[in-house]
Structure 1
């Protein structure tokens, strides 16, 4: 292969390296938001527990993209056209799965009003048993501290305002009611992962197109080399 061929190979290699970074980012997002949703599992309405599936699916998707990108780099270095072709085809399958996951993220909470009603019921149960159930106390404190809110209707909810309603090491008190903030937070967790999956599917699609083009490029050059015989003195 000549100088131009080396440039093409270098570009394909770096495209696969970027794809690996996409996989790492998607994996990180999946793990982060899976943990965030699991922490609030007691307040997520039972009919909507499946929203945690979106970040869970992002984890294997990211892992597969990383592994496939590594194989793509190997195929690029070894210049095996069949290997690169299979790699590009697998990326197309991954794009299809990513699109399905991303679209599902937008459809999981279709009736926002029902979701908010069920969420308010679950939150009321948690805050009502703040002193009686240790797990509920933990999750209520987590919600109030992380989302900077207090009770289900503000500070008036509490006879004795808990420390989690205060900003750390200050006397600043959070006076926002929690239900609206929790609803927005849960929606953001799901939608951020869904949007990321959809956006990254464009990168994966480009990776597939580049790889399939490179595979075709390799096959053309391999056929050309077969027809060019060396001089007799070689």
Structure 2
């Protein structure tokens, strides 16, 4: 009876770890997609906000390796390897929880920090090529103007990327002076870039949270299965 139980647990854990390995690849893909989506606006985002997707990619690689260890330990019926596998999963789970808590704590001053960064960058538009490229990119991509709106730009400094051609749906000609438009003109993007960037960051954060919670649930099951199989092996011996 015990031999039958051992075989059943062993193959359940083996199949589970195959699924777990696939979930590791899923973590890598999710982290890479979020990093690609938000990374193009990294000029306005603190490094701490780009850390979670990077960590998720690293965790995905580790999960894939740990799942391989779990598969091997289950087939070999090695008590030591299974316990090492369970400890690795526990460490990964604690790391994920720590990152989640840190992100939740930092979320409180996220708006203020990013707003200050954007305001400083806006006033350096004409002095810094990096700031100029960053602002032209974010205003064109998110169809926005200024930090909270067009009024943020000092007089006669509003860039062409703040405007659009409402009739043809194409950028206005190069000789058009966007700075001559006043807030409220239809030619100007009305929304500020801060809100658009916040929405994009929050959307990416929700993806990371959803994937993280799902993987954490899978990890708890893996720990329980590994401990169960390790206990069965020890009792048999």
Structure 1 gap segments, 5+ residues each = 224-234
The 2-side partners of 1:80 and 1:12 are apart by 13
Report the TM-score when normalising by structure 2.
Answer: 0.73
Aligned twin of 1:107: 105
Aligned twin of 2:213: 198
| CA 141–6 in structure 1, closer or farther in 2 if over 3 Å, else same | farther
| CA 14–203 in structure 1, closer or farther in 2 if over 3 Å, else same | same
Deviation string 1:191-216 (CA, Å, 9 cap, x unpaired) is: 54245323321211111111111222
Q: CA RMSD in A?
A: 3.3
User: Are residue 119 (structure 1) and residue 114 (structure 2) matched?
Assistant: yes
The correspondence for 2:76, drawn from 71, 78, 87, is 78
User: In the TM superposition, what is the alpha-carbon distance from 1:70 to its structure 2 partner?
Assistant: 0.5
User: In the TM superposition, what is the alpha-carbon distance from 1:14 to its structure 2 partner?
Assistant: 1.4
Count matched residues.
215
Give the match's secondary structure for 1:64. Answer: helix
Aligned twin of 1:162: 161
Conserved in 2, the CA contact under 8 Å of 1:16 and 1:72? yes
Report the TM-score when normalising by structure 1.
Answer: 0.74
Give the match's secondary structure for 2:42. Answer: coil
Conserved in 1, the CA contact under 8 Å of 2:149 and 2:192? yes
| CA 6–196 in structure 1, closer or farther in 2 if over 3 Å, else same | same
The 2-side partners of 1:108 and 1:8 are apart by 42
User: Are residue 207 (structure 1) and residue 222 (structure 2) matched?
Assistant: yes
Structure 2 gap segments, 5+ residues each = 172-186
